[in-house]
Amino acid sequence: MNCGHCQRDIADYSNFCYFCGARQHVSASGEPRATKRLMRSTTDCKIAGVCGGIAEYLEVDSTLVRLIWVLAVLMPVPVVPAFIGYFVAWLVIPPAPPLAVVAPPATAPNSTQTA
């Protein structure tokens, strides 16, 4: 594999170039690595999708994230910071692109044959 920055030959499994130190954005299989981004969920949302997006990013259940947020709100001191944090996250975290809804294929009516 060649380094995308200095164009020198490096091992296929390298994450960084030996010569220039540039990060390699191609995995060992030759396919680009999937990057994980924090985005508000469009499918798992109750208010704005912040907790659902954080849960998808951390790969945990969204109920657990919502429960932690509710516990943070119920504590006597962080009530205002918890609401402000949620509102700021709502403004800062971009929404995930909506999933394309694919209609099921049209099926022919069931034909029953009698003998």
The whole-number pLDDT of residue 45 equals 78
94, 39 Cβ separation under 8 angstroms? yes
The Cα–Cα gap between 96 and 54 comes to: 12
The whole-number pLDDT of residue 109 equals 60
Tell me which of 99 and 27 has the higher pLDDT. Answer: 99
Residue with tokens 């490096």: 10
60, 103 Cβ separation under 8 angstroms? no
Q: What is the 3-state secondary structure (H, E, C) of the chain?
A: CECCCCCCECCCCCCECCCCCCECCECCCCCECCCCCCCECCCCCCCCCHHHHHHHHHCCCHHHHHHHHHHHHHCCCCHHHHHHHHHHHHHHCCECCCCCCCCCCCCCCCCCCCC
Spacing of C-alpha 73 from chain mean position: 25
Q: Residue 69 pLDDT more than 80? A: yes
- pLDDT tens-digit readout, 12-67: 767 777 778 888 775 555 555 557 788 888 787 788 888 888 888 888 888 898 89
For the chain, the domains span 1-35, 50-92
